[in-house]
Amino acid sequence: MTHPILISPSILSADFARLGEEVRAIDEAGCDWIHIDVMDGHFVPNITIGPAVVKALRPHSQKPFDVHLMISPVDPYLDAFVQAGADIITVHPEAGPHIHRTVQHIKSLGVKAGVVLNPGTPAKMLDYLIDDVDLILVMSVNPGFGGQSFIENQLRKIEAIRKMIDKSGRDIRLQVDGGIDLTTAPRAIAAGADVLVAGTATFRGGQSAYADNIRQLRGG
């Protein structure tokens, strides 16, 4: 199943002093989703935002909020992020004791559920999850910080997961996050990705540059 390429800018690279304005700017610049990185200083070595900020941002865009939870334990916070306005929630298998149950709970809340694979997490982790997920996110850097360099061997994982998705026949998006720029974006797409998370590459140059940055990442 072929999908158009979607761009989901990571607001981790936005100006946090005017986050609502930044979300409106990337929306108007033509982004498809808005990627919100939630970090707890425990599961990953950084702290970002919680449900209250997601709720505060929700009126600034009608685009899907693509919320990536890098928190552990993750289960106690799922309801709060959905209530705050998340449309998609992605979680790590390592962030809770029972990933299948976590995915089922996300779906019971009426939003799309995704699984995130860190660079050291094998594609095989998806064997008994692929029938339940709407999105698979491959981390092409180790999670926790923006601005890192793309890890080359993740291209093989993207290719392997693309084959798994195609074999399943299900409508599953394949997202890549980490070190995505004008050099790595076409390589990730060629490997099978159809959603690109880009922070630094989207927000560089200020708001007047966002539309062109998004267009170039999409390959236009």
Residue appearing with tokens 């084959």:
163
Q: Is 146 annotated as a binding residue?
A: yes
Q: Is 10 annotated as a binding residue?
A: yes
Among candidate residues 32, 75, 134, 177, the one labeled active-site is: 177
187 φψ region: left (φ > 0), alpha (ψ -120 to 50), beta (else): alpha
Strand partners, 173: 135
Contacts of 117 (CB under 8 A, 6+ apart): 93, 123, 125, 126, 136, 137, 138, 139, 157, 161
Helix, strand or coil for residue 53? helix
Work out the angle between the directed axes of helices 154-168 and 184-191 (0-180°, nearest 10): 40
Q: Is 16 annotated as a binding residue?
A: no
Q: Which helix (H) or strand (E) holds 51?
A: helix 51-57
Q: Is residue 37 among the annotated active site residues?
A: yes
Q: Is 206 annotated as a binding residue?
A: no
Q: Is 199 annotated as a binding residue?
A: yes
Among candidate residues 37, 40, 75, 134, the one labeled active-site is: 37
CB 125 within 8 A of CB 118: no
Q: Is residue 194 among the annotated active site residues?
A: no
Q: Is 43 annotated as a binding residue?
A: no
- The CB density around residue 152, as the number of other CB atoms within 10 Å, is 11
Written as one letter, the residue type at 185 is: A
Q: Is 202 annotated as a binding residue?
A: no
Q: Is 145 annotated as a binding residue?
A: yes
Q: Is 147 annotated as a binding residue?
A: yes
Q: Is 177 annotated as a binding residue?
A: yes
Task: Output the six-digit token pair for 44.
Answer: 């990953």
Q: Is 35 annotated as a binding residue?
A: yes
Residues labelled as active-site residues: 37, 177
Binding residues: 10, 35, 37, 68, 144-147, 177-179, 199-200
Binding-site residues for a divalent metal cation, in ranges, read: 35, 37, 68, 177
Annotated binding site for substrate: 10, 68, 144-147, 177-179, 199-200
